[in-house]
Each structure stands twice: as structure tokens, then as C-alpha cells.
Amino acid sequence: MGKLTNSLKATTKQLSEIKRGIHKMQELGQELADNTLTVAEAGLRTGYAYAKAELETTSVQTNQVLSEPQQALPSTFTPLDAHQLENSTHWTIELLKSHFGSYQAANKHLKDVRGISVKQRGWQHVVAAFNKGVDNRDKLLEQRVAQLEEVVSLQRREIAVLETRLDETVVQLKKLTATVKQFVKP
């Protein structure tokens, strides 16, 4: 009876280790699911932040153009030269009409010189495009890209850590399976 008792104790001990290994795998699976949720949530937050920034940029520019009263031109108004036109920071419909004469000419200038296509017809949209500040938009885009690259880098590191843990757990599980197979010989 001594050998049978010892064998049963050893088998019970190994089964306990297997049970702990299974429990550890369940914990790792739960942690992996939680981290996947964290990564997905970070991606969604990044997307929402990007969309919100785009919406705010668009609405601020539209509100500035539509909310500011159009001022009458002074009687001593002189047309702007090309240098003044490119460096001005605020445009009105009257200023653009006086310089370009027609909507088509102003729109052509946007396309040819600034590389901007106005998607909707109308002077309001051309004015908004002139007031947009292409350089500022590019800087904001660069900042957003840098932030997204940082988030992606952090997520890659998290994924690498989780993959390492998963590999370690798989190795432990294989060891436990081999041990169990030694005691459960047919």
C-alpha cells in the first residue's frame, strides 16, 4: 500500500499543478482580453479625438467667416499686389472680388497657386479657403501624426510583453502536459 499511496499523492500533486497552470492560463487569457480592450479603446479614443479636432477646425473657420460682419470698403481702397495677397490673414468677399474680379478667377488662383480645391461653389467657401491657413493645417496634421505614432509605439510594446507572457505560459503548459502523460500511461 505504500507505493500506491505515494503514487496517488504524486499524481494528486501533479494534478494540482495542472489545475494551477490552467488557472494561470485563464488569468493570462483574461489579461489578454483586457489589454485587447484597452488597445481597442485607445484606438477609438484616437479616432474620436482626430474627428473632433477636424470638426473643431472646420467649424471654427466656418464660424469666423459667417459670423464676422462684412465691412464696406473704404473709398481710398487700392487693390492688393501679389505679395500682399499671399501674406494676408483675413479675407472678405469684397476684398477677393476687388482683386480677382470673378469667382472663377479666385477659384483658379486657389487651385493654381495654393493647390486648394473648393468642394462647394460660392464666395463663402472661397473666402474660407483663403482664410484657412494651409501652413497651420499642415502643422496640426504633423502633430496629430506624431501623437498617433507615439500611441502605436506604446501599443506595440504592450503587445510584445503580452506575447512574451503567452509564450512562457505555453511552455509551462507543455511541461505540465508532458508530466501528466508520464503518469497516465496506458
**Which tens digit of pLDDT belongs to each residue from 85-102?**
555 557 788 888 888 888
Domain presence at residue 179: yes
- In angstroms, what CA-CA distances link 1 with 4, 11, 156, 183, 184? 5, 15, 56, 18, 19
pLDDT tens digits, residue range 23-65? 888 888 777 777 777 777 777 778 777 777 777 766 555 444 4
Rounded to an integer, what distance in angstroms lies between the CA atom of residue 21 and that of residue 40? Answer: 28
Rounded to an integer, what distance in angstroms lies between the CA atom of residue 14 and that of residue 107? Answer: 79
Smallest CA-to-CA distance from 127 within 66, 69, 38, 43 is with 66
Cell numbers linked to 150: 507615439
pLDDT at 186: 58
Rounded to an integer, what distance in angstroms lies between the CA atom of residue 83 and that of residue 29? Answer: 64
Cell numbers linked to 140: 496640426
Domains identified in the chain, total number: 1
Domain presence at residue 171: yes
Smallest CA-to-CA distance from 173 within 30, 27, 23, 22 is with 22
Domain presence at residue 41: yes
pLDDT at 159: 92
Q: In this model, does residue 17 exceed pLDDT 80? A: yes
**What is the enclosing helix (H) or strand (E) of 49?**
helix 2-67
Q: In this model, does residue 69 exceed pLDDT 50? A: no
Domain presence at residue 98: no
Domain presence at residue 169: yes
Cell numbers linked to 25: 492560463
Average pLDDT over residues 150-176: 91
Domain presence at residue 141: no
Report DSSP state, residue 167.
H
Domain presence at residue 30: yes
Residue 141: pLDDT band (50, 70, 90) is: confident
pTM of this prediction exceeds 0.75: no
Which range marks the domain in which residue 23 is found?
Answer: 1-68+161-186
Domain presence at residue 112: no
E-strand stretches of 37-104: none
